[in-house]
């Protein structure tokens, strides 16, 4: 999901919620996945401008949240977003399970964000135990407390995931969003959903409305970036029990462009 957001930022594409900015630089720092064999191919599949995605060289010494190289890299690249994945890789010798270890690190990172105006996203993993989300993150609760916004991401279907805002200090909570990770179509946003944090934490599947189903069909079939004949989308909708009226309403809500070509109407009733 964060790679998809990074890709959109590098191209100046519209983000979920309608925000659009000029193409901008991003720093993606990961201690888990290979840059050449995993991160770059995924970015390319997502249509990113990879020349705008930067990495801090930590081959000789490990990076930490308090490392001055973070601010130096942000200033040098003029990055507007830095993604650090996963959280536990960047505490150095400090204990991520104690307040004394966490608070200085998070304070240092927050100060960099304030000085540079760069958004900082830390990716963390949840443990297997039950309970509220703020107590299921690896490490001290102070990590959760230091964040101004916390998003919880989880599975709600075979190929669908939801992102739900669990904490928001600086603005009203955002709407929950769903997206698809399809083995053949790849990543695509599906729009707003009614999923709660509890649904995500418990792995409860989302009951898909007809309108949501119609949006999913349209977005999936248009995910390749090419125009698709209306009849093909109507046929797919029929196969999933979605009416033409619902399909047209979903098309209108998604602001999908339509046009005629050789007497065929794309995304419209040919009758």
**Pair of tokens at residue 24:** 């901008």
- pLDDT per residue as tens digits for the range 13-29: 998 878 888 999 999 99
C-alpha to C-alpha distance for 130 and 134, rounded to whole angstroms: 11
pLDDT for 265: 47
Mean pLDDT, the chain, rounded, equals 87
| Of residues 6 and 221, more confidently modeled | 6
Superfamily classification of domain 2-147: P-loop containing nucleotide triphosphate hydrolases (3.40.50.300)
Q: Is 131 left (phi over 0), alpha (psi -120 to 50) or beta?
A: left
Any bridge partners for residue 121, and if so which? 83
Q: Above 70 in pLDDT, residue 255?
A: yes
- pLDDT per residue as tens digits for the range 211-236: 888 888 898 888 777 888 988 899 99
pLDDT for 268: 47
Domain spans, the chain: 2-147, 151-207, 225-265
Global confidence as pTM:
0.74
Q: State whether residue 27 is helix, strand or coil.
A: strand
- pLDDT per residue as tens digits for the range 55-81: 999 989 999 999 999 999 999 999 999
- pLDDT per residue as tens digits for the range 86-141: 998 999 988 888 888 899 999 999 999 999 999 999 999 877 665 566 656 667 78
C-alpha to C-alpha distance for 50 and 104, rounded to whole angstroms: 33
- pLDDT per residue as tens digits for the range 153-209: 998 888 889 999 999 998 999 999 999 988 887 899 988 888 888 888 877 666 667
The DSSP line for 130-174 is -S-GGGTBSS-HHHHHH-SEEEEEEESSSSEEEEEEEEESSSPPP
């Amino acid at each position: 999901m964060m790679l998809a957001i990074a890709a959109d930022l590098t191209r100046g594409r519209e983000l979920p919620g309608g925000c659009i900015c000029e193409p901008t630089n991003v720093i993606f720092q990961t201690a888990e996945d290979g840059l050449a064999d995993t991160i770059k191919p995924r970015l390319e599949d997502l249509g990113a401008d990879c020349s705008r995605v930067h990495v801090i060289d930590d081959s000789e010494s490990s990076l930490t949240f308090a490392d001055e190289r973070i601010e130096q890299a942000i200033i040098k690249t003029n990055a507007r977003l830095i993604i650090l994945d996963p959280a536990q890789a960047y505490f150095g010798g400090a204990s991520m399970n104690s307040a004394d270890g966490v608070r200085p690190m998070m304070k240092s990172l927050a100060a960099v964000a304030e000085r540079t105006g760069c958004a900082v996203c830390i990716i963390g993993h949840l443990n297997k135990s039950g309970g509220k989300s703020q107590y299921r993150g690896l490490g001290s609760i102070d990590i959760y407390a230091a964040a101004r916004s916390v998003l919880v991401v989880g599975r709600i279907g075979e190929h669908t995931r939801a992102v739900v805002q669990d904490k928001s200090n600086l603005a009203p909570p955002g709407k929950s969003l769903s997206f698809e990770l399809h083995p053949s179509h790849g990543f695509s946003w599906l729009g707003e959903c009614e999923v709660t944090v509890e649904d995500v934490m418990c792995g409860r599947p989302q009951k898909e409305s007809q309108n949501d189903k119609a949006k999913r069909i349209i977005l999936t079939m248009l995910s390749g970036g090419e125009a698709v004949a209306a009849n093909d989308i109507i046929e797919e909708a029929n196969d999933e029990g979605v009416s033409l009226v619902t399909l047209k309403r979903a098309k209108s809500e998604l602001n999908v462009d339509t046009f005629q070509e050789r007497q065929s109407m794309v995304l419209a009733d040919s009758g």
